Amino acid sequence: MAPRTTTDRPAGDGAGPDLLMLGRRIRHLRTARGLTLDALGERVGSAPSLLSLVENGRREPRLSLLRDLADALGVRVGDLLADEAPDRRAELEIALERAQRGRLFAELGLPAVKPSQRLPLPVLEQLVGLHREIARRAEEAIATPEEARRANTELRLERQARGNYYGEIEDLAEDLIGRAGYAGGGAVTHRTVARLAESLGFTILHVTDLPRSARTVTDLRNGRIYLPQASIPGGHGLRSLALQAIAHRVLEHERPRSYAEFLRQRVEITYFAAACLAPRSAAVTFLQARKREKDLAVEDFRDTFGLTHEAAAMRLTNLATEHLGIPLHFLRVGDDGALFRGYANDGLPLPQDVTGAIEGQLVCRRWAAREAFARRDRATEFYQYTDTPNGTYWDSVQTGTRGTDSAGTSAGFGAGAFSITVGVPFAHAKWFRGRDTQVRQASRCPDPACCQLPPASLAERWAAGSWPSARMHQQVLAALPRGAFPGVDDTEVFAFLERHAPRAEQGAEQGAEQGAEQG
């Protein structure tokens, strides 16, 4: 078998030795001993040209050659295979070589610079720094709105395929919340969440100056989780925010490398928080009892476990299919009819754009999610049957109002009045309270004649005799947030952490800085 080259496998991909690192260690040891390639080749019985390929990370040596090289250089084989560069220059040469073999550099169409010994160290430092900055900017700008929508669609379809149920997160959440003292039978208290944090080495602190761009901030160095002093109106409660911060640690998340990974982490931490606030055993016991009584209701589930209506509705989607055998759908719709968040594994024909994304699409005017806004009494749930091209569905809808979106920022998509819908196919309505409603609508969407086109008589009368001034939706012009944690202002966060760091740590750092200045 012919030796592999780095065109067969990238160096450092985990399938074998890091060829660039190996080559630079061999070169470092060779030059340190005053040997030329010819001299080393004579000692190991190999051609200098082969050794040059090895030293440049372009050829993987056979084990026999590796042993001969170790003997000739007076080291062990393990010393050659170490994963640390022998010196700063070798580290920079490896970094430059890797950067110039990558896709980003290839797209620039520039000639490569050979990292030879004749290249001055300051020039090498500058080239590596420039390549790292190019990579950083590329990572920040990687998520176009189209890519983000596709990534979100993939996540939604994945959740749909598994019934929106993540058994491994359920197991972890139930174990941790149980160890923190939750014995079942009701809501998880703030104290229980605090004990859970303490068991993982964190203290929860409430502050008034949390950075505007962050919902929470975790100080990994000092074991602190900073939360606002009050819940976000209509959004996440303080228990949920704390649990989401904890989730990053217990789920062993690393800094997201793409917008898709960022979105996946958000799904996982939200799921973990919900699984802690309505632990599986207690929640399933409650829901199964209500199903037997044919009295399932989101409002009862909400009140029993101390959740927001939206959180209770979403938690129901986690458990209903897996443990109750009920397919269902969930919608969050704005009063303008735009779908903000949706999930369905029951065949409900959700509106989609050409990429398959549902966010921002208008739902049918006949659906319960929009009919609920026409009610005068919005304090209780609204029930409706809707005939669609995919069958008849029963829905339970609760409306609400908020002035901020789920990230806590004012205005924009998701602000204002909204409705939360949980619905099931007609055959499963028998398990729910409100199934006896006489309210019924018929929807032919996505047929434009259903509700997207005005009646012909009105169009004929007003099409040429009207000129409305459209309200501008500013969010369509906003750039997608950038950075490893999109939308987070690092300057604000780091200044906040510095402000709140324990005084002992601040004093130690100041002392170190003074010592460095004196040195």
* pLDDT at residue 470 tops 50: yes
d(CA 444, CA 428): 22
> Is it the case that residue 3 has pLDDT exceeding 80?
no
**What residue ranges in 375-444 does DSSP mark as E strands?**
382-388, 391-402, 416-425, 440-442
| pLDDT at residue number 126 | 93
Report the pLDDT value the prediction gives residue 236, as an integer from 0 to 100. Answer: 56
The model's pLDDT over 477-513, given as tens digits with 9 standing for 90+, comes to 555 566 667 778 888 888 999 999 987 655 555 554 4
Task: Determine the pLDDT at residue 465.
Answer: 87
pLDDT for residue 512: 45
pLDDT band at 418 (very low <50, low <70, confident <90, very high): very high
Q: Of the ranges 5-19, 142-156, 167-181, 491-505, which one carries the lowest mean pLDDT score?
A: 5-19
Indicate the average pLDDT of the chain. Answer: 85
Per-residue pLDDT reduced to its tens digit, 237-277 = 899 999 999 999 999 999 888 888 889 999 999 999 999 99
Written in H, E and C, the secondary structure of 101-157 is: CCHHHHHHCCCCCCCCCCCCHHHHHHHHHHHHHHHHHHHHCCCCHHHHHHHHHHHHH
CA distance 417 to 375: 13
Mean pLDDT of 29-35: 90
Q: Does domain 19-100 have CATH number 1.10.260.40?
A: yes
Q: How confident is the model at residue 1, as a pLDDT?
A: 35
pLDDT of the residue at 209: 93
Q: What is the pLDDT of residues 420-463, one digit of tens each?
A: 999 999 999 999 999 999 999 999 998 888 988 888 888 888 88
Provide the 8-state DSSP code for 440. E
Q: Which residues pair with 217 in a beta bridge?
A: 226
d(CA 414, CA 404): 8
- Rg (Cα) of the chain, in Å, rounded? 30
Sheet of strand 339-344: strand arrangement: 339-344, 329-334, 416-425, 391-402, 382-388, 440-442
The predicted-structure confidence for 103-136, as pLDDT tens digits, reads as follows 788 878 889 998 877 889 999 999 999 998 888 7
Q: Is-contact 490 209, C-beta < 8 A?
A: no
Residue 184 and residue 444: Cα distance in Å, rounded?
45
The DSSP result for 144-209, as a single string, is: -HHHHHHHHHHHHHHHHHTTT--HHHHHHHHHHHHHTT--SSSPPPHHHHHHHHHHTT-EEEEES-
Give the pLDDT score at 107. 78
What are the tens digits of pLDDT across the range 273-295?
999 999 999 999 999 999 999 99
Annotated domain spans of the chain = 19-100, 148-442
